[in-house]
Structure 1
Amino acid sequence: MADGIDPTPPPAAWRDPRRPFWPLALLVPGLPFLSWLVWDATGRWWAWWLAPLLVFGVIPVVDLLVGDDQENPPEEAVPRLAGERYYRWLTYLYLPAQYAGLVLGCAVWAHDRPGPLVGAGLAVTLGIVDGIAINTAHELGHKRERTERWLAKIALAPTGYGHFQVEHNRGHHVRVATPEDPASARLGESFWAFWPRTVVGSLRSAWRLETNRLRLRGRTPWTWRNEVLHAWAMTVVLFAVLTVAFGPAVLLLLPVQAVVGFSLLEAVNYLEHYGLARQRTAAGRYEKVDPRHSWNSDRTVTNVFLFQLQRHSDHHANPLRRYQTLRSFDSSPQLPAGYATMVLAALVPPLWRRVMDPRVLAHYGGDLSLANVHPPARRRLSGPPPGTGTPQPSSR
């Protein structure tokens, strides 16, 4: 302050410093086109492996170099920020780019008959784009606007994971950080044990939730009003159209890229609530969800590319907040790196346990009874993880 004038701008004048950078998220669905251009120019198989290299190699390095951004918008500015359609259109534009990449991939698959290395890279590239599109669907599917919820289903169709919208909104958000939630990983549970539990459990949960909703209205689940059937029908229609357009050969590509896509989603689910638990109240119910029940990351670059999904603690505490208004809290447990890095760590269970188990225990002051523990791992976890000594507090 100088001469009695406060230099801090009033909330109404606050501007989002990331505003110019949010369009970078649209580079993700452009990855198939980048690979195709390089492949067309060079004819080299590695062109179709650029997407995983960039997502899981370059982005973690840039994330580390750029560092964290813990700035939160002032609450007085949130209504204006949430109402700006600029941010919504960025999520909308992901979808046509996503589908254009899928069409390009099918055309390459059908017309060029790629060999194993090119074919595998093509499937992985499409899977990464469609897997990250589930995050876009996640942002859209939480909103009250009917159009955005339908766009979420469209984004989910290429992975055949349309039931995610039902299970995530009405199942996961209710049961998060409890043993009953198939999408909350338990302390000591490897990703490879979590994957079948969450894939099968989430599908069953979505069907059960929708069946119960319809039966309360006196309807059979076998109706066009069933949102799970809506979503699956969209996948069937999409795959049928692509098969008619490019031939039956794409029926090998489409399921493979779908599995890659929803497996990427489940890897993210795995790290978002690993080992965290809501405690029961005196009344026997689980405590209210708050920022302590989700792992958070303020890594700037990955937050831009994922529409701030990494501020997951605020999302679960306030599911209707739009991505540009999500906040970072000191009470949230912090991941040691961004999602792109942590997904790779999750694929290597010994590395994951060495990095994350001490952080979970430190979050609960060493009290294992407060964590969501994988039953087969309880005995191993009752002592300090090998080679780590006393658990150290997590750092931001």
Structure 2
Amino acid sequence: MATYTLEHPDKGLITYTDKKRYLWLISMLMPAFPLMGVAVFYQTGIQWTLALPLAVNYLILPFVDYLVGSDVNNPPEELVPQLEADNYYRILTMLTVPLHFIVLAVMAYVVGTNDLSPWMVLVMAIIAGGYSGLGINTAHELGHKQTALEQLMAKIALAVPAYGHFCVEHNRGHHVLVATPDDPASARLGESIYAFTLREIPGTFVRGWNLEKTRLNKQGKATWSTDNNILQSYLMSLVLQGTLVYLFGWIMLPFLAVHNFWAWYQLTSANYIEHYGLLRKKNDNGRYERCQPHHSWNANYIMSNLALFHLQRHSDHHANPIRRYQSLRNFDDIPELPNGYYGMYLLAYIPWLWFRVMDKRVLALPHINGDLSKVNILPSKVKATYALYGQGQEIPQ
């Protein structure tokens, strides 16, 4: 276990040991978890065993998060440069990329070479899509980094879920307008995840495409060209998924259609819970205040963070986008989710229950303290929200 040290002129010897150093292997191996269900299926011949990864994600992991609890430990800031220079951590993210390809190929093989029921083909597509959705998380970590290799690996990872516009849109769109009414990837109070999906998926694609088009036009290059980062990734998706159709037949068309949508929906689910109801102040000059930790919902739950490269320490990520996962920090008095992401996804899929749990949490945040003018509210729900929670507050015109 590596220990980082620094002799500080004022604080003396500072030391830090990342006790989770080798536990981060869980994040690397998480995309391969569906192979467990495949192995059990080939041992027993029982089709429902293929669904075991669904139970692990949506039942066991939230329960383990509840039992194990949170980790609020932060590395000393003085040692963060050493921690981020340790290549071990970035190697883990890059080794994860080929696993996404391998797992999709194996899942396609199982569907294409076995007489599965239509329901089990659907389940397999959802499982494959859920774990390919982790490819977007892998690309998220890699795509924020400032090395050409990591950015290339991000582009390759996005080929698996066929979401090649993500890094362009996320880095240059979402991070600029996060927690504002102008961001299609920031959910509004009173907005169900299903309404959000219809706004977020097409909205982010259009924004990503326009951002890349603008970049290329400024360089005097054609939008429809090999210089287009989005098209590069989508071309890899076409080759990958076209090969699967060629190898395993037409059953791949519905399988991949569901796979792709469910992979996208995992990102949509994450975006929905990460900024729900949160709002950055608009200054007199028309620009929004700088993104602060309290503009994102955080989750310090140990197990799900170990499965997601610390994605759930989202508050620090948005305040410091290029900071690597191993050095992301917890802060006091920031929005904190009551469970890890998979538990919150289940809650979000039942809108009335989500609103009941989360709306009051939004209003109780210290920086909001019941002031609805500081909340990002769905426009069609403004009057109803003020009537329910406003207590005499004036509805903005």
Q: How much has 1:30 moved relative to structure 2?
A: 2.1
Q: TM-score, normalised by structure 1?
A: 0.92
Deviations 1:127-166 (A, max 9, x none): 1110112111100000111111111111111211110111
Deviations 1:215-254 (A, max 9, x none): 1222221121111111211111111222233333322211
Q: Distance in 2 between matches of 1:281 and 1:66?
A: 42
The equivalent position to 1:365 in structure 2, one of 358, 365, 369, is 369
- Specify the alignment match of 2:395 in structure 1: none
Q: Distance in 1 between matches of 2:274 and 2:259?
A: 23
- Specify the alignment match of 1:101 in structure 2: 103
Q: How much has 1:11 moved relative to structure 2?
A: 6.1
Q: Tell me: CA distance 1:11–1:279, structure 2 relative to 1, closer, same or farther (3 Å).
A: farther
Q: Tell me: CA distance 1:270–1:11, structure 2 relative to 1, closer, same or farther (3 Å).
A: farther
Q: Distance in 1 between matches of 2:235 and 2:158?
A: 11
Matched, 1:113 2:112: no
Aligned-partner SS, 1:320: coil
- Specify the alignment match of 1:329 in structure 2: 331
Aligned-partner SS, 1:62: helix
Q: Distance in 2 between matches of 1:134 and 1:106?
A: 19
- Specify the alignment match of 1:209 in structure 2: 211
Q: How much has 1:282 moved relative to structure 2?
A: 2.7
Indicate conservation of the 8 Å contact 1:11/1:76, yes or no.
no
Indicate conservation of the 8 Å contact 2:29/2:96, yes or no.
no
Range with bigger deviation, 106-115 or 349-358: 106-115
Q: Distance in 2 between matches of 1:123 and 1:262?
A: 13
- Specify the alignment match of 1:13 in structure 2: 15
Indicate conservation of the 8 Å contact 1:295/1:333, yes or no.
yes
Q: Tell me: CA distance 1:11–1:140, structure 2 relative to 1, closer, same or farther (3 Å).
A: farther
Q: Distance in 2 between matches of 1:222 and 1:13?
A: 52
The equivalent position to 1:264 in structure 2, one of 263, 266, 269, is 266
The equivalent position to 2:25 in structure 1, one of 23, 26, 47, is 23
Q: Tell me: CA distance 1:269–1:168, structure 2 relative to 1, closer, same or farther (3 Å).
A: same
Q: Distance in 2 between matches of 1:256 and 1:34?
A: 21
Listed as ranges, the matches of 1:244-323 within 5 Å are: 244-323=246-325
Q: How much has 1:383 moved relative to structure 2?
A: 3.6
Q: Distance in 1 between matches of 2:206 and 2:12?
A: 50
Indicate conservation of the 8 Å contact 2:75/2:327, yes or no.
yes
Q: Distance in 2 between matches of 1:226 and 1:11?
A: 49
Aligned-partner SS, 1:13: strand
Which amino acid is 2:82 matched to? Answer: R
Indicate conservation of the 8 Å contact 2:280/2:295, yes or no.
yes
Which amino acid is 2:281 matched to? Answer: Q
Deviations 1:56-100 (A, max 9, x none): 100111111110100100011111111111111211121222211
Q: Distance in 1 between matches of 2:333 and 2:149?
A: 35
Matched, 1:173 2:171: no
Q: TM-score, normalised by structure 2?
A: 0.92
Matched, 1:188 2:193: no
Which amino acid is 1:379 matched to? Answer: K
Indicate conservation of the 8 Å contact 2:174/2:185, yes or no.
yes
How large is the Cα RMSD of the aligned pairs? 1.6
Aligned-partner SS, 2:160: helix
- Specify the alignment match of 2:4 in structure 1: none
Q: How much has 1:331 moved relative to structure 2?
A: 3.6
Q: Percent identity?
A: 45
Which amino acid is 2:374 matched to? Answer: L
Indicate conservation of the 8 Å contact 1:45/1:117, yes or no.
no
Aligned-partner SS, 1:14: strand
Q: Distance in 2 between matches of 1:380 and 1:47?
A: 46
- Specify the alignment match of 2:77 in structure 1: 75
Q: Distance in 1 between matches of 2:43 and 2:12?
A: 52
Which amino acid is 1:317 matched to? Answer: A
Q: Tell me: CA distance 1:300–1:97, structure 2 relative to 1, closer, same or farther (3 Å).
A: same
Indicate conservation of the 8 Å contact 2:135/2:161, yes or no.
no
Q: Distance in 2 between matches of 1:113 and 1:153?
A: 34
Give ranges in structure 2 of 5+ residues lacking alignment. Answer: 1-10, 392-397
Indicate conservation of the 8 Å contact 2:188/2:378, yes or no.
yes
Paired residue total: 379
Q: Distance in 2 between matches of 1:180 and 1:283?
A: 16
Q: Distance in 1 between matches of 2:293 and 2:333?
A: 6
Q: Distance in 1 between matches of 2:13 and 2:343?
A: 35
Aligned-partner SS, 1:158: coil
Q: How much has 1:27 moved relative to structure 2?
A: 3.4
Aligned-partner SS, 1:157: coil
Q: Distance in 2 between matches of 1:376 and 1:240?
A: 42
Indicate conservation of the 8 Å contact 1:31/1:125, yes or no.
no
- Specify the alignment match of 1:381 in structure 2: 385
Which amino acid is 1:189 matched to? Answer: E
Indicate conservation of the 8 Å contact 1:32/1:104, yes or no.
no
Q: Distance in 2 between matches of 1:254 and 1:235?
A: 11
- After TM superposition, the runs of 4+ consecutive aligned structure 1 residues lying more than 4 A away are 9-12
The equivalent position to 1:350 in structure 2, one of 326, 339, 352, is 352
Q: How much has 1:10 moved relative to structure 2?
A: 6.6
Which amino acid is 1:342 matched to? Answer: M
